[in-house]
Amino acid sequence: MQLFAPSGLVLAAALLLAPPLAAQGASDDAAPSDADFATANAALAVAPVFDGHNDVPIQLRERYDNQIADFDFADTSHTGQNGSEDGAMHTDLARLAQGKVGAQFWSVYVPSNPDEPEAVQQVLEQIDVTKRLIARYPDRLRLVTTADQVETAIAEGRVASLLGMEGGHAIGSSLAVLRQLFALGVRYMTLTHSANTPWADSATDDPAHDGLTPFGKDVVREMNRLGMLVDLSHVSEKTMMDALDVAQAPVIFSHSGARAIDGHPRNVPDSVLARLPENGGIVMVVALPAFLSEEVRQWSARRAGEEARLKALFQGQPDAVAAGLSEWETANPEPAATVSDMADHIDHIREIAGVEHIGIGGDFDGMRSGPVGFEDVRGYPALFAELARRGYSQAELEMIASRNALRVLREAEAHAARVRDMAPIETLIAPSAATE
């Protein structure tokens, strides 16, 4: 059974069936109809969601110290405080099935850590716990490393499970470590997380390198040689541009939105979106509310400002700060991001880069909650029904759900095959950069 038709045929069908762009950007208050849900479900039946980013592994570390002998991944809905649903995990086997998830990049993330040897150890621990979790449910999950294996797992009714490494600090500024992590099954690396690495600038740190250093460019080249996807979520705009200048295979943004819709620096600017068609890469649109809604982002900034003001006024008085902040939140309730906001990002990326450069990267279990209507991994059909309401054809929905992501993975593999005789890059990071 072939779940994924050749991308050229899908694109041709999408272009024939798609309505004009002007008909697709209407983010009014209308709800998707039964026909819209039918279109969405038909698309997800043949092209289940291939999600770019899920943080279950760090939840296993933070909640259970990676001790998972008694952890039940069949149902995590009561993993909140004192066995409640409040603060519970977003992901489990039952909800993945409800959400029509067929393939998942599990993020083997560890927090940004200037102690690089420790970061390397920590990411190895996250790879270990993720593999142990997958192995415990062989009838529901399958560890995969190639596009063909993704297709096979989906055809078998199992969630194709891939490893994605979030944050280049985890390679310890060593191409040898990068190669060994690839050998362990890691199939993408996000070049930075929230802080700069010694060789790349992050979107949320003060610039230190003006993008990628020479060593950082060799990291991208070596990832291409291996067939590891270069993930540009979390990196600065200059780092994005430098990576696109160097990359010989499609890049991904595993969990990002469009900066023109929400100005958060974690989102992708139009200058970069415009370059994706030439590169072939994709933006896997995130579900984190502050990245989706400019109103939520502005509220978060005002709250941070109020918290800083209270801390300056009530130094050494945390209870007074907490009380003041609670009072401010009561007077200034947090606005809600919605599935419609997420669809707005997809509309914009489609307009600038094209539908073949869009995917989905929820970031579940890496945030407090998804948007209203998409609070956990059950929400994907609601998003696709909203896109159908906006006029996206079934062929386009299939591309966004998984065909685009599968194409990118396959093209990265094809590039690696073409350069298989190329020697491993042996560049060492400059000593001054390693000690900054």
Catalytic residue, candidates 255, 264, 345, 348: 255
Catalytic residue, candidates 53, 90, 345, 348: 53
Q: What is the pLDDT of residue 83?
A: 83
Catalytic residue, candidates 231, 347, 363, 396: 363
Condensed to tens digits (0 to 9), the pLDDT of residues 130-169 reads 999 999 999 999 999 999 999 999 999 999 999 999 999 9
Active site residue 234: yes
d(CA 4, CA 7): 8
Contact assessment for residue 432 and residue 423, using Cβ atoms and an 8 Å cutoff: no
Mean pLDDT value across residues 108-122: 94
Mean pLDDT value across residues 391-420: 98
Catalytic residue, candidates 169, 234, 357, 415: 234
Q: Tell me, what DSSP letter sits at residue 334?
A: P
Condensed to tens digits (0 to 9), the pLDDT of residues 30-43 reads 899 999 999 999 99
Average pLDDT taken over every residue of the chain: 93
Contact assessment for residue 126 and residue 61, using Cβ atoms and an 8 Å cutoff: yes
> What is the band of 243 on the pLDDT scale with cuts at 50, 70, 90?
very high
- Judged against a pLDDT cut of 80, whether residue 26 lies above it is answered with no
Q: How many CB atoms lie within 10 A of CB 73?
A: 20
Catalytic residue, candidates 51, 151, 166, 341: 166
Joined together, the tokens standing for residue 95 give 């909800």
Active site residue 55: yes
Condensed to tens digits (0 to 9), the pLDDT of residues 246-276 reads 999 999 999 999 999 999 999 999 999 999 9
- Judged against a pLDDT cut of 50, whether residue 25 lies above it is answered with no
Q: CA nearest 64: which of 136, 126, 109?
A: 126
- Judged against a pLDDT cut of 90, whether residue 15 lies above it is answered with no
> What is the band of 84 on the pLDDT scale with cuts at 50, 70, 90?
confident
Active site residue 363: yes
Q: What is the pLDDT of residue 432?
A: 67
- Exposed, middle or buried: residue 183 (CB in 10 Å: 0-12, 13-18, 19+)? exposed
Q: What is the pLDDT of residue 429?
A: 94
pLDDT above 90 coverage of the chain, percent: 89
Q: What is the pLDDT of residue 8?
A: 38
Active site residue 53: yes
